[in-house]
Amino acid sequence: MKREKFLCLFICMMLCLGAAMGIAAEKQIDNLIIKTRMPTSTEIQKLKEMWGTFEPGKNYNKIVDGHGTGLKPPTEKQWQEMADKIQFVESVKRIDGKDRISASADLTTSIYFPPIGNQGAEGSCVCFSTIYYIKTFQEAKEHGWNLSGATWIGGYTGYPTPSYQDRIMSPDFVYHQVNGGIDGGSNVVDIADLLDHMGVSSWETMPYDSSDHTSWPPEDAWREAPIYRGIGEVQLLTVQSATGLDDLKTLIDNQRLTSISVDSTKMYEMTTTDQCSGYSFDHNVTVVGYDDNKSYTEDGATHYGAFKIANSWGDTWTLETTNDGCFWISYNAMKENIVFASYSEDKTSYNPKMLAVFQITHPDRSDCLPYVYIGGSDEILWSGMAPSSSVSIGWNDFTVSPALDVDTDEMYKITVASSQLYSASNYYSWRQSAADSYAGDSNAVFDADFCFRTYTTGDVLDQSQETATYQKALALDYPSWQNILPSASPITKISLNLDYSGSPGYVVTTISDAPSASKQFMLTNQGSHAYPSNKIALDITEFYPYYNSGDKDFYLKIQDTLDAKTGTATWFSIEVYDNYFTGTPEKTFVSSDAPKATLDGDVITLSATEPLTGVQAPWQCYE
pLDDT tens-place string over residues 211-244: 999 999 999 999 999 999 999 889 999 999 999 9
Query: In terms of pTM, does the model score above 0.75?
Result: yes
Q: Above 60 in pLDDT, residue 17?
A: no
The band of 500, judged by pLDDT with boundaries at 50, 70 and 90, is low
Average pLDDT value for residue range 71-91: 93
Measure the CA–CA gap between 375 and 543, rounded to whole angstroms: 9
Read off the pLDDT band of 489 (50, 70, 90): low
Task: Please give the pLDDT value at position 185.
Answer: 97
Residue with more model confidence, 391 or 358: 358
For residue 396, which of 268, 277, 526, 494 has the smallest C-alpha distance? 494
Element (H, E) at 245: helix 242-253
Give me the pLDDT at residue 618, please: 43
Question: How much is the pLDDT for 406?
Answer: 67
CB 56, CB 181: distance < 8 Å: no
Stated length of the chain: 623
Please state, in angstroms and rounded to a whole number, the distance separating the CA atoms of residues 196 and 218: 20
- Compute the chain's Rg from CA coordinates: 27
Checking if the pLDDT of 115 tops 50, the result is yes
With cut-offs at 50, 70 and 90, classify the pLDDT of residue 137: very high
Note the pLDDT of residue 496: 65
CA separation for the pair 192, 241 (Å, rounded): 26
pLDDT at 385: 81
In this prediction, residues 76-81 reach a mean pLDDT of 91
pLDDT attached to residue 390: 81
The Cα–Cα gap between 104 and 565 comes to 58
Question: CA 263, CA 278: separation in Å to the nearest integer?
Answer: 9
Band the pLDDT of 99: cuts 50, 70, 90. low
- What number does CATH give the domain 380-514? 2.60.120
**Does the structure show a pLDDT above 90 at 450?**
no
pLDDT at residue 404, as a whole number: 78
Q: What is the CATH number of domain 24-346?
A: 3.90.70.10
Q: What is the pLDDT of residue 563?
A: 86
CATH 2.60.60 fits 354-376+518-613, yes or no: yes
Asked if pLDDT for residue 127 goes beyond 80, the answer is: yes
DSSP state letter for 431: -
pLDDT in tens, 298-341: 999 999 999 999 999 999 898 988 999 999 999 999 999 998 99
Q: What is the mean pLDDT of the chain?
A: 82
Q: Beta partners for 71?
A: 186
Q: What is the 8-class DSSP label of residue 539? A: E
Residue 103 has pLDDT above 80, yes or no: yes
pLDDT higher than 90, residue 52 = yes
pLDDT of amino acid 402? 83
- Res. 141: pLDDT tops 70: yes
So where are the chain's domains? 24-346, 354-376+518-613, 380-514
Beta bridge partners of 354: 576
493 vs 248: CA distance, rounded Å: 60
CA–CA gap between residue 35 and residue 368 (Å, rounded) = 41
Half-sphere exposure of 184 (CA within 13 A, CB side): 18
Q: What one-character-per-residue DSSP string does 125-183 give?
A: HHHIIIIIIIIHHHHHHHHT---TT--EESGGG-EE-GGGGGGSB-HHHHHHHHSTTSS
Please give the span between the terminal C-alpha atoms of the chain, in angstroms, as a whole number. 35
For residue 497, the model assigns a pLDDT of 62
According to the model, what pLDDT value does residue 522 have? 87
Looking at the predicted structure, is the pLDDT value of residue 463 above 70?
Answer: no
Grade residue 418 by pLDDT with cuts at 50, 70 and 90: low
Whether the bond into 160 is cis, omega within 30 of 0: no
Q: At what angle do helices 188-197 and 171-178 cross, to 10 degrees?
A: 110
Across residues 355-361, what is the average pLDDT? 97
Task: Give pLDDT, residue 163.
Answer: 98
pLDDT > 90? residue 375: no
For residue 452, pLDDT beyond 70: no
Please give the torsion angle defined by the CA atoms of residues 265, 268, 271 and 276, in that order, rounded to the nearest 10 degrees: -20
Sheet containing 411-418: which strands, arranged edge to edge?
380-386, 507-514, 411-418, 481-486
Most trustworthy range by pLDDT among 96-110, 448-462, 498-512: 96-110
Range from 36-50, 322-336, 398-412, 478-492 carrying the lowest mean pLDDT:
478-492
Model pLDDT, residue 420 = 41
| Position with higher pLDDT, 439 vs 576 | 576
Can you give the pLDDT at residue 526?
86
Nearest CA-CA partner of 213 in 115, 329, 122: 122
Is the model's pLDDT at 20 over the cut of 50?
A: no
CA distance 141 to 149: 15
Least confident of 18-32, 350-364, 537-551: 18-32
Residues 245 and 335 sit within 8 Å (Cβ to Cβ): yes
Task: Give all strands (DSSP E) within 263-322, no chain letters.
Answer: 270-271, 283-298, 301-310
256: helix, strand or coil: coil
Residue 622: which pLDDT band, with cuts at 50, 70 and 90? very low
Q: What is the pLDDT of residue 403?
A: 78
Is 60 exceeded by the pLDDT of residue 203? yes
Question: What confidence tier does 50 reach under pLDDT thresholds 50, 70, 90?
Answer: confident
Q: Name the percent of the chain lying above pLDDT 90.
A: 61
pLDDT for 260-285, tens place per residue? 999 999 999 999 999 999 899 999 99
- ∠ CA 444-446-452, rounded to 5°: 160
> If you average pLDDT over each of 9-13, 329-333, 380-384, 410-414, which comes out highest?
329-333
